[in-house]
Amino acid sequence: MSSSTKNEISFILNELGEEREMYFNAISPPIIQTSNFAFKKVDDLRKAFEDESECHKNTGYLYSRGMNPTVEILRKKLAALDGAEDCLVFNSGAAAIFAGVFANVKAGDHIVSVKAPYTWAQRLFEVILPKFGIETTYIDGTKIENWENATRKNTVMYYLESPNSWDFAMQDLKVVAHLAKEKNILTFIDNSYCTPLYQPVIEMGIDLAMQTATKYISGHSDTMGGVLSGSAAMIKKIFQSEYLNIGSGIQPFNAWLLIRGLRTLPTRLDRITKTTELVFHYLKKHSKIEKVIFPFDADFAQYELAKKQMSGACGLMTFILKTKKLEDIVGFCESLQHIMMAVSWGGHESLIIPKCAGMKIDEFNADNIEHRYIRLYVGLEEADYLIEDFEHAFNAIP
Ligand SMILES: *Cc1c(COP(=O)(O)O)cnc(C)c1O
């Protein structure tokens, strides 16, 4: 990342969107905790009804299901970080996925998606969209010819997630975006692992970029949120239908927490990147470990691509113990004393989650390596603190 870009990020996180003279020059913005806003003129109210997406710039805010001043500050910062014309901030990442996909498909359409995307994207493709006659084909997105081959006359969207948050499978973003443009197909990516700081996907030609704000942007495991960035026209279209209709926009207090989280986002990512590196090397050479999956490992299958399109990799990795026994995997996870067992990631606290927790005990098949996956998220603790904890848990298993 060039230093001018870094300066730009400092400006975005500390100043952009903050009109402090409007609120007593307070450094921290106010939480405008209101549902509605008053008008003095019928004509102004009429204009606000006519275009709710722009009214705050002209006649004033209307209703917080649409626009709210605290949320506006966050929107400006997140759109700028993504290098996008505009963005919307939702109450969760799942809501952002739902709105972004739903707004761009109609009955009879077809989607090509990477296999095993985030769970709630899968549910959308497998449970909800089929009710409206929309089909999805899953492909191994690592090979460009698979995108081409799965494309039909009625394909309207390529759904990407790069890297995947369990096995880190990646897509060559510029190449897929190029192919999609040739075929007039919309590209939608889940960019949650990298954030735009490590992977500026809009710049790479992707049309619609989603990231969960619950993870790295919040950074403190205390709020949820989701971001959808794209062209002004696309964001306006989604605002006027799905965003207002589902009513899944972020609440002012949660937006305020995300603004606070953003202040330290680059600092936290830097710190986590350094700690991850140390923990990765410790795990990789451990005698009880069979394999560690991490995109910036020179042994990773798509290492070249990772280095080409990501300026960093941090936090998440997946490892597999040599033992094939379920009871050992369980024993290992339950022996950790500081690293907690929980879903999610991106907060201050290191976390672990074993894949086997997501299946019934009799479904566990030790010969399927994926069933033995243990995903680690490295938080803000000292590397030695985490390594000592691992040492203890390794000693608890044969
Ligand atoms: C957590 C997550 C989401 C969903 O975000 P929520 O804020 O939990 O709704 C989407 N994609 C990935 C890769 C995630 O890890």
Determine how many CB atoms are found less than 10 A away from the CB of residue 120: 15
Alpha helices in 37-83 (DSSP H): 42-50, 55-58, 69-82
Structural domain boundaries of the chain?
Answer: 6-32+68-263, 265-394
The total of other beta-carbon atoms located within 10 Å of residue 17's CB is 17
How far apart are the C-alpha atoms of 353 and 318, rounded to whole Å? 9
Residue-wise burial string across 213-228, b where 16 or more C-beta atoms lie within 10 A, e elsewhere: bbbbbbbebebbbbbb
Q: Is the CB of 192 under 6 A from ligand 1?
A: yes
User: Beta strands of 49-207 (E only): which ranges?
Assistant: 86-90, 110-114, 135-139, 155-161, 186-190
d(CA 294, CA 334): 23
**94 in contact with ligand 1, CB cutoff 6 A:** yes
Distance 253 CA to ligand 1 centre (A): 20
pLDDT at 3: 58
Please answer whether residues 393 and 335 qualify as being in contact, where contact means their C-beta atoms are separated by less than 8 angstroms.
yes
Question: What's the pLDDT score for residue 2?
Answer: 47
Q: Please identify, by atom number, the ligand 1 atom nearest to the C-alpha of residue 213.
A: 7
Which CATH class, in words, describes the domain spanning 6-32+68-263? alpha beta
Which pLDDT score, from 0 to 100, does residue 4 have?
A: 62
Residues in the chain: 398
Which amino acid, one-letter code, is at 284? K
| Secondary structure of 278-289 in HEC code, one letter for each residue | HHHHHHHCCCCE
Q: For ligand 1, say whether the CB of 190 is within 6 Å of any of its atoms.
A: yes
Taking CA atoms only, the protein residue closest to ligand 1 atom 6 is 93
Ligand 1 pocket check for 224: Cβ under 6 Å: yes
pTM listed for this prediction: 0.96
* pLDDT in the model for residue 234: 98
Output DSSP code: residue 301.
Answer: T
State in Å: Cα 266 to ligand 1 middle.
Answer: 20
Q: Establish whether residue 163 lines the binding site of ligand 1, counting it when its CB lies within 6 angstroms of any ligand atom.
A: no
Q: Which helix (H) or strand (E) holds 160?
A: strand 155-161
Per-residue pLDDT, 59: 87
pLDDT of residue 58: 86
Rounded Cα distance between 105 and 135, Å, is 10
Residue 108 burial by Cβ neighbours in a 10 Å radius (0-12, 13-18, 19+): exposed
In tens digits, the chain (398 residues) has pLDDT values of: 445 688 999 999 999 999 999 999 999 999 999 999 999 999 999 999 999 998 888 889 999 999 999 999 999 999 999 999 999 999 999 999 999 999 999 999 999 999 999 999 999 999 999 999 999 999 999 999 999 999 999 999 999 999 999 999 999 999 999 999 999 999 999 999 999 999 999 999 999 999 999 999 999 999 999 999 999 999 999 999 999 999 999 999 999 999 999 999 999 999 999 999 999 999 999 999 999 999 999 999 999 999 999 999 989 999 999 999 999 999 999 999 999 999 999 999 999 999 999 999 999 999 999 999 999 999 999 999 999 999 999 999 98
CATH class, 265-394 region: alpha beta
CA of 259 to the centre of ligand 1 (A): 19
> How many whole angstroms separate alpha carbon 98 and alpha carbon 249?
12
CA 98–ligand 1 middle distance (angstroms): 12
Distance 212 CA to ligand 1 centre (A): 5
Q: Judge whether 318 and 374 are in contact, CB under 8 Å.
A: yes
pLDDT of amino acid 55 = 86
